[in-house]
Amino acid sequence: MKMFLQGRWQERGTVAEVVHPYDGAVLDTVPVGVPADITAALDCLEQGAAVMRALPTHRRVEILRRTAQLMAELQEDLARLISREEGKVLAEGRIEAGRAMETLDLSADAARDLHGETVPLDATPSGVGKLGFTLRVPCGIVAAITPFNFPLNLVAHKIGPAIAGGNAVLLKPASDTPLSALKLVELLLEAGLPEEAIACVTGPGGELGEAICADARVRKISFTGSAEVGEAITRAAGLKRVTMELGSNSPVIVLDDADVAKVARTLAVTGYANAGQVCISSQRVIATPGVHVDLLDALRTEVQQLVAGDPLAEGTQVGPLIRERDAARVETWLGEAVTQGAELLCGGSRDGSVVQPALLANVAPEMKLSCEELFGPALGVTVAPDVEAAIALANETRFGLSAAVFTQDIDRAMRFAREVDSGNLHINFGTAWRAEIMPYGGLKDSGFGKEGPRYAVQEMTESKMVVIHG
């Protein structure tokens, strides 16, 4: 595929292969963009920002709705494209394609709800006789830097609200999974988005990211990825507005009164979906003594039943990791945990980019499996003596994106909600759950700012105060 900038699809002399994570088959090639391409794209997007600012709200709504309709007509093709380039099983690809359509529809709703407010200036003596109101206006050019693990929906979560808010968009998709993003750009253009209002530059994240951060014409950056890269972008961005959706190592507290069978069934999904390559994947299970042994038995039964392998094969539940080196890293981390005293109850072996779903007991808080983001198909179980200790362990991390508790006690559930430092909190379900409509974002090193179309539109627009003096 070609990349899109300056209002047209373009090739470059150097290309990068996009490969299937499972078998390494070449799916397509994309141009390797350079910093000069970012500059050229922004030259055109400056004009696009003016066009979008003048575009009536109803036209932005129509473009987003039409794009969602076009996606619905191609849902199975999109699902297969997602699964082929990212490696998630086809059922998960279908879910993602459907969620991306929903994201664009919700973005259209958010465009209609975008408005200012009156300000009662006469609430102070100096404001008597004056009329005040606010206007919400576009930022101008929004840069969207997106990850590999949801190559369509997380692109939609940035592009949809940006368009809804009347902005032009510079998209830099993940190098491993650019095809879904390019297809979405194609559909947006078909739906009527002005050609000068969007650019999609493919290539290395480091070089292109630096160019994006360095250019003052970019007024807003929305990034999803690792905490380390997010910190680098934030430092380089200076006074630009930024939204950071970063990593996590999500804890799940299981108290003595929990339904063990339900917990095990749930965690077999929320800990292993997309081979654990989900920012909010359940990773740390913290169980109290009364439930610990039964939970390990139930979890082992569920995890051992998971089928890992070819993501396009019927019956596969866990696909490959995005790259073989990532699978090797996960294998190493699991080995390190066992060396340090953890017990491997099942799984953990590796064949190329596929890691068999793993379950570990006796995982200590100081192990890498507890401290860092694994981004792989494994759960580590730790024992805590009581709810106080469990909450303390849940908070013993630099991350705070998603956390969960299983209990039938409403008082302990609400204590969890109040005391656990996380942007998303789930009661009687796992951590890997998100509705497109909800505000989504983290605390601590998991980032700042909110996604979800209604909330992202607010982040991608600015408020102007107008005062009419009598």
Here the CATH number for the domain that contains residue 58 is 3.40.605.10
Residues 287 and 223 in one domain: no
Q: Quote the CA–CA distance of 257 and 85 in Å, as a whole number.
A: 42
Residues 276 and 317 in one domain: yes
Residues 62 and 83 in one domain: yes
Residues 8 and 96 in one domain: yes
- Residue 435 located in a structural domain: no
Q: Which of 96, 102, 196, 245 is catalytic?
A: 245
pLDDT in tens, 298-352: 999 999 999 999 999 989 999 999 999 999 999 999 999 999 999 999 999 999 9
Classify the C-alpha dihedral 71-76-77-82 as positive or negative.
positive
- Residue 16 located in a structural domain: yes
Residue showing tokens 């009164």: 257
What contacts 444, CB < 8 A, 6 or more positions away?
397, 398, 399, 400, 421
Q: Are 68 and 101 in contact (CB under 8 A)?
A: yes
- Residue 295 located in a structural domain: yes
| Model pLDDT, residue 15 | 98
Q: Are 356 and 347 in contact (CB under 8 A)?
A: yes
Query: 3-class DSSP state for residue 120?
Result: coil
In angstroms, what CA-CA distances link 397 with 280, 374, 406, 447? 14, 13, 20, 14
- Residue 260 located in a structural domain: yes
Residue showing tokens 């994309």: 30
pLDDT in tens, 37-83: 999 999 999 999 999 999 999 999 999 999 999 999 999 999 999 99
Q: Domain containing 349 — which CATH number?
A: 3.40.309.10
Sheet of 141-145, strand order: 8-10, 3-5, 198-200, 168-172, 141-145, 220-224, 241-245, 447-448
Residues 203 and 283 in one domain: no
Residues 124 and 262 in one domain: no
Q: Which of 366, 171, 365 is nearest to 285 (CA)?
A: 365
Strand partners, 28: 18
Residues 170 and 258 in one domain: no
Q: Strands 198-200 and 168-172, how do they pair?
A: parallel
Burial track 99-127 (b if 16+ CB lie within 10 A, e otherwise) = bbbbbbbbbbbbbeebeeeebebeeeeee
Q: Which of 213, 279, 373, 459 is catalytic?
A: 279
What contacts 336, CB < 8 A, 6 or more positions away?
367, 368
379 membership: H or E segment, kind and range: strand 378-383
Residues 308 and 163 in one domain: no
| Model pLDDT, residue 202 | 98
pLDDT at 429 exceeding the cut of 90: yes
pLDDT at 470 exceeding the cut of 90: no
| Model pLDDT, residue 242 | 98
Strand partners, 343: 361
- Average pLDDT of the chain is 97
- Residue 383 located in a structural domain: yes
Count structural domains, the chain: 2
Q: Domain span at residue 276?
A: 251-427
Residues 61 and 150 in one domain: yes
- How many CA atoms does the CB half-sphere of 132 hold within 13 Å? 14
Residues 188 and 293 in one domain: no
- Under the banding of pLDDT at 50, 70 and 90, the label for residue 119 is very high
Q: Quote the CA–CA distance of 340 and 50 in Å, as a whole number.
A: 59
Residues 322 and 235 in one domain: no
- Under the banding of pLDDT at 50, 70 and 90, the label for residue 244 is very high
Q: Are 113 and 437 in contact (CB under 8 A)?
A: no
Residue showing tokens 């902005």: 167
- Under the banding of pLDDT at 50, 70 and 90, the label for residue 460 is very high
pLDDT at 279 exceeding the cut of 90: yes
Q: Quote the CA–CA distance of 399 and 159 in Å, as a whole number.
A: 26
Instruction: Respond yes or no: is residue 44 known to be catalytic.
Output: no
In angstroms, what CA-CA distances link 126 with 97, 130, 133, 465, 467? 54, 9, 16, 16, 12
- Residue 447 located in a structural domain: yes
pLDDT in tens, 171-201: 999 999 999 999 999 999 999 999 999 999 9
Q: Which of 378, 387, 400 is nearest to 283 (CA)?
A: 378
Instruction: Respond yes or no: is residue 279 known to be catalytic.
Output: yes
- Residue 299 located in a structural domain: yes
Residues 210 and 270 in one domain: no
- Residue 436 located in a structural domain: no
The pTM of this model reads 0.97
Q: Quote the CA–CA distance of 308 and 246 in Å, as a whole number.
A: 27
